[in-house]
Amino acid sequence: MKSQKVVLASFLLAVYATAAAANSQLLLERGKHTEVSGEYTGVVDLAIEPGIDNAKVAVLVDGQKVADGLMSPYHLNVDFGPSAIQHKITVVVTSPGGKRVQWYTTINRGYLPLSVNVKPVDLGARLFEAFVTSPKEDPIDSVSLWDNGQAIATVNQEPYQFTVPEAVLASGFVQVTARTKAGDEAADFWSPAGNVHSEEMQIRTVPIFVSVVDRNGLTHDDVDRSKFRIIDNGTEAKIIEFGKAFDQPISIALVVDSSASMTYSMEHAAKAASEFVQRALKEGDRCSVTAIQEVPRRKQALTDDRELVAKALVGIKPQGQTALYDAINSAIRELRDEKNRRAIVLLTDGSDTSSFESYEDVQKLAREAAIPLYFILYEGGDEQARDLERLRYLAGETGGFVATATQQNLMARYEAIEKDLRAQFAIKYQISDFGRTNEWRAVRVVIDSPKLTARTIKGYFTP
């Protein structure tokens, strides 16, 4: 069968049918309600024993269906992400006669995601407590009480209690944030009308990366901070940090078309990609390599070793069809939780021919992840026409671009991407209005010059 996916909490849960990609296996047997020991992260092969011949199987993770109508041999690969998080896996078996049986298994018991929930302990005394959870490998560093966009009290150890000033309580709104050692943050709110943390969240600061280009498409890295204006959700935001993005480490997912149509171009394409990596990466940067075939093939996981990347590129053997959308999906998923600056650089010579993921799925995921997508369309013919505008849209939404290339100018196209990444500005801005969780907020960066244009993400979804 082909892949299915669902978003769970703050990471993408991806499902595959190919058992070879799994790091470990978990046996789910009929009638056994278990809590298994050990930590399950990354891709796990769920091996299901339904106990009924010719049964159809559905699998749910934390109540969300990730597979339905699964038939023998009842194997399903699920990517649980890089961190051990508690999940409840439910198996529903339907016999040929329509009888249903279900059971569940809990993995990573006690490994909870970052969360915060503030409640009054003694409302008369204005005493509130924040109850927090965090991943095992990233503990809580501090919990802060906020008023009008400013932290007014911070606690660094349990119990996370605050005596809220009368003026803050009188406003009818109490806000706290929890911050982990790694810098991740979660927010929660309380009001006399009820706890509204599931409906509203304040985005205090937003980081973005901006490329500035002139009318000829040339990038500029010498634009003064005073020339930038940021419009977030229709309101001008305050820039609080401004600098060169090249000073920050970057993680690049390098994706290369290795379908059968690349047979006579693979050597040249691999060489150009390898030279791009050698020049573009500096100390602290990381890169992965994925080959596009009937399904995406990970040739090298994220690494800071350029030689391993070069070896992976040389070892790619072209064959099969082009799962272009699945490859984009895979690259986004790989970089989704990276703390570094991120970019996806993808070379292809044709349109999608074998993906399970639809363009609409990839479009939604790309907008959510906000990772710049750079596409190089290589030696393509008429078959590229169907996907060209789609790729341009994805690149435009994420702050990247699309370039066409021949064997003669392929290296120049990689150089253009390298220059764009080097010239990006790193900006952090502050907003003061409130938004619901998972709300789309449009972003526009305006440069005070008729000769220059800013390129960045078109927006983001609130956490």
Q: How many C-beta atoms surround the C-beta of residue 46 within 10 A?
A: 26
Tokens standing for residue 391? 């790729």
| Cα gap 220→217, rounded to integer Å | 10
What's 4-107's CATH class? mainly beta
- In one-letter notation, the amino acid at residue 376 is I
Name, in order, each residue with C-beta under 8 angstroms of 305's C-beta and a sequence gap of 6 or more.
Answer: none
Query: Rounded CA gap, 324 and 258, in Å?
Result: 10
pTM for this prediction: 0.58
395 contacts 401 by C-beta, under 8 angstroms: yes
- pLDDT of the residue at 114: 82
pLDDT tens over the chain, length 463 residues: 333 333 333 333 444 444 445 568 888 887 665 667 788 888 899 999 988 888 999 999 887 788 888 898 899 888 887 777 888 889 999 999 888 888 888 888 877 778 888 889 998 899 999 999 888 778 899 999 987 667 899 999 999 999 999 888 876 678 888 889 988 877 777 766 444 333 334 446 889 999 999 988 899 999 999 889 898 887 888 898 899 998 789 999 999 999 998 998 999 999 999 999 999 998 889 999 999 999 999 999 999 999 999 999 999 999 989 999 999 999 999 998 888 899 999 999 878 899 999 999 999 999 999 999 999 998 764 445 557 889 999 999 999 999 999 989 999 999 999 999 999 999 999 876 656 677 888 899 989 887 899 999 999 887 7
How is residue 61 written in tokens?
């993770």
User: Which of these, 104, 109, 95, lies nearest to 28 by C-alpha position?
Assistant: 104
The CB density around residue 385, as the number of other CB atoms within 10 Å, is: 10
CATH class of 201-463: alpha beta
Per-residue pLDDT of 277-318, as tens digits, reads 999 998 889 999 999 999 999 999 999 999 999 999 999 999
Question: Are the CB atoms for 230 and 239 separated by under 8 Å?
Answer: yes
Residue spans of the domains in the chain: they are 4-107, 115-199, 201-463
pLDDT of residue 137: 78
Comparing CA positions, the residue from 334, 287, 331, 295 lying closest to residue 311 is 287
CA distances from residue 105 to 89, 99, 332 in whole angstroms, order as listed: 5, 21, 29
Span 123-153, pLDDT tens digits: 889 999 999 988 877 889 999 998 766 789 9
Question: Are domains 115-199 and 201-463 of this chain identical in fold?
Answer: no
Selection from 64, 50, 60 nearest residue 101 by Cα: 50
- CATH class for domain 115-199? mainly beta
Please work out, in degrees rounded to the nearest 5, the angle formed at the alpha carbon of residue 314 by the alpha carbons of 309 and 319.
Answer: 115
Contact yes or no for 461/367 (Cβ under 8 A): yes
Angle between helices 266-280 and 306-314 (to 10 degrees): 170
396-to-117, 228, 263, 399 alpha-carbon distances in Å: 37, 19, 30, 5
What sign has the CA pseudo-torsion 360, 361, 365, 366? negative
